Amino acid sequence: MLRWKLLVASAAIALSGVMPAHAETGVTKDTIKIGIFAPLTGKSAIFGKYVIGVQAYYKMINDQGGINGRKIVTYLEDDACDPATAVAATKKLVAQDGVFMLHAGVCTASIMAVKDDMLRQGVPFMNLGAAGSSITVPTVANMFSPLPNTIVVGRTLVDFAMSRPNTKRLAVISHPDDWGHSQVDPAIELLKKKYNLDFVENVSMERGATDITPQILKLRQSKPDVVLSFLYPTETAIFVREAHKYGLNTPLLACFGASYEDTVRRVDNAAASKNLYVFHALAGAANGEKMKKWADMIHKYGDPKEEIENFVLSGIGGAEVIVEALKKAGPDLTRQKFIDALNGIKDYDTGVLSAPITFTPEDHGGVKSGAMITEVDGKLISFATWPKEKN
């Protein structure tokens, strides 16, 4: 009997050197499972481009040896930016695929549809590309966002507009939904509190609308110095095109819901786009020198012909802090150790985003600022304040 006990003890000691002390869901001795859902189909499929940069980054990390001896394995589902589909996708990723965490969601409604269940199950969740402030406000233990939220975006557009010399009259157009209000409301509040001004006109545009002539005529009649736009990509392009058609030629500032490059392509009229500025979370233009490192990575680990633009790059920062926290959590990886490591991320410079990422136990909204991008002399340049070249 003594000899048998000694053999068992010896085997246990031998195994302890090669196996983790605690077997966590989605973690094996050589893999970490990460679930992703994004709109790969439907009217919001352009946002699915976030997945491209993220998956390329994870492949690069694996090529470099992985994290504490483990390779990242991703599981991808299409949510089509539909909350019900997101719920089904999440259940598959968590219950069937058994992922360790989710790096997912580009539409706020999709994330909010699964938020309570992910909190209940304690699954770590990193926002992939949604901007809704409700994802991390109020703070919950396992939900994190590495991108500027709608509050940051709304305030940034106001401050940028007001940095333009002699600007007194701002107007706004937005979607009349929670997403639109989550940006317009902070913009109204800041404009009144900081600058003692109100918007001279505030109009709305339904998603899917194609005729916005009445709204544009009202905006034009208000004689704004700058117009702020809180619209999705298709509607942003329609607004820019129709504003030019009806002689609303003031500067147009668009939110994070649109991409500069994509909007210009859709508008297909250089004269209409010449006064366009779009909120920009990146450290530089997508086709500029600062993003070359990331473009090269995507071409190496993804499609060598992939066109590099804002949405393709914007998810990489979140993937970077995930990897950093996984490293800090150590080889005996658990969800709680990972969450604790995320809460210790401070002033993390991703190199791809325009601002560093900081998480604390009290605040999981990692980025508090952004910039605006526009074209100057044929080059895309990002600015924190109004460019003198376009006064």
Give pLDDT tens digits for 68-98.
999 999 999 999 999 999 999 999 999 999 9
Average pLDDT for residues 139-146, to the nearest whole number?
A: 97
Same domain, 74 and 158: no
Domain-embedded: residue 20? no
* Rounded Cα gap, residues 157 and 370, in angstroms: 9
Counting the structural domains of the chain, the total is 2
- Residue 170's pLDDT is 98
Query: Residue 311: inside a domain, yes or no?
Result: yes
Q: Which of 101-110, 189-198, 238-247, 281-290 has the lowest mean pLDDT?
A: 281-290
Average pLDDT, the chain: 93
**Token duo for residue 82:** 């539909």
Q: Do residue 68 and residue 116 come from a single domain?
A: yes
Q: What is the distance between the alpha carbons of residues 281 and 85, in angstroms, rounded to a whole number?
A: 28
* 132-150: average pLDDT: 96
Check whether 13 has a pLDDT greater than 70. no
CA distance 371 to 260: 12
Q: Are 283 and 290 in contact (CB under 8 A)?
A: yes
- Whole-angstrom distance between the N-terminal and C-terminal Cα of the chain? 89
pLDDT higher than threshold 60 for residue 288: yes
Helix axes 108-121, 83-91, angle to 10 degrees: 30
**Are 296 and 253 members of one domain?**
no
- Same domain flag for 233 and 381: yes
Establish if 249 belongs to a structural domain.
yes
- 349 within domain boundaries: yes
Query: Does residue 276 lie within any of the structural domains?
Result: yes
The interaxial angle of helices 260-267 and 233-245, nearest 10 deg, is 50
Angle subtended by helix axes 178-195 and 150-162, to nearest 10: 40
Residue 195 sits in the same domain as residue 139: no
**Percent of the chain scored above 70 by pLDDT?**
94
Q: Is residue 355 a contact partner of residue 367, using CB atoms and an 8 Å limit?
A: yes
**155 and 198 co-located in one domain:** yes
Note whether residue 300 is domain-resident.
yes
Same domain, yes or no: 234 and 377: yes
Based on the fold, state whether residues 177 and 250 are members of the same structural domain: yes
Provide the domain limits for residue 240: 151-280+372-390
pLDDT at 12 over 60: no
Please give the average per-residue pLDDT across 118-143, as a whole number: 96
Q: What is the pLDDT of residues 319-368, one digit of tens each?
A: 999 999 999 999 999 999 999 999 999 999 999 999 999 999 999 999 99
Residue 241: inside a domain, yes or no? Answer: yes
pLDDT at res. 1 = 46
Same domain flag for 221 and 350: no
Does residue 274 carry a pLDDT above 70?
A: yes
Tell me the pLDDT band of 391, cut-offs 50, 70 and 90: low
Q: How many helices and strands (H and E) does the chain possess?
A: 14, 12
| Statement: residue 14 has pLDDT above 60 | no
Beta bridge partners of 283: none
Would you place residue 230 in the very low, low, confident or very high pLDDT band (cuts 50, 70, 90)? very high
**254 and 383 fall within a common domain:** yes
Beta strands in 24-124 (DSSP E): 31-38, 71-78, 101-104
Q: What is the pLDDT of residue 22?
A: 52
Would you say residue 124 has pLDDT above 50?
yes
Mean pLDDT of 20-48: 90
Residue 4 has pLDDT above 70, yes or no: no
Question: The domain spanning residue 105 has which CATH number?
Answer: 3.40.50.2300
- Greater pLDDT, 370 or 163: 163
**Are 115 and 40 found together in one domain?**
yes
Q: Are residues 257 and 332 in the same domain?
A: no
Q: Over 50: is that where the pLDDT of 6 sits?
A: no
The answer to whether residue 22 is domain-embedded is no
